[in-house]
C-alpha cells in the first residue's frame, strides 16, 4: 500500500471508489490468482498483461458463474445482446 501512496495511485479496485464494491473486486482478484495462477511474479510487464488478458478471457468464456445459474458469462451476454 505504501508503494501505491508513494506513486499517488488510488487504492480502490472499484469504478466508483465505493468501499462496498471492493468485495466483488477482491473476489474476482482471488479467483484470478487461485484458479488462473496470477498470484505469482511476472518478469516483465508484457508477461503480466498477457497472463491477465488470458485469465480474464478464460474467466468470461469458460468458467460457469454461480450468480448466472452456472452459465458462462459470454453465453449469457450473447443471449441478451
CA distance 17 to 10: 9
Q: Are the C-beta atoms of 72 and 79 separated by less than 8 Å?
A: no
Mean pLDDT by 10 residues, the chain (81 residues): 79 65 79 83 90 90 91 88 64
pLDDT of residue 23: 78
Is the pTM higher than 0.75? The answer reads: no
Residue appearing with cell numbers 445459474: 69
Amino acid at each position: 500500500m505504501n508503494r501505491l501512496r508513494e506513486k499517488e495511485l488510488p487504492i480502490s479496485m472499484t469504478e466508483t471508489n465505493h468501499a462496498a464494491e471492493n468485495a466483488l473486486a477482491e473476489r474476482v482478484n482471488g479467483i484470478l490468482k487461485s484458479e488462473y495462477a496470477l498470484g505469482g511474479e511476472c518478469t516483465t510487464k508484457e508477461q503480466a498483461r498477457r497472463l491477465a488478458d488470458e485469465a480474464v478471457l478464460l474467466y468470461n468464456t469458460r468458467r460457469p458463474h454461480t450468480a448466472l445459474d452456472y452459465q458462462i458469462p459470454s453465453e449469457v451476454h450473447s443471449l441478451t445482446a
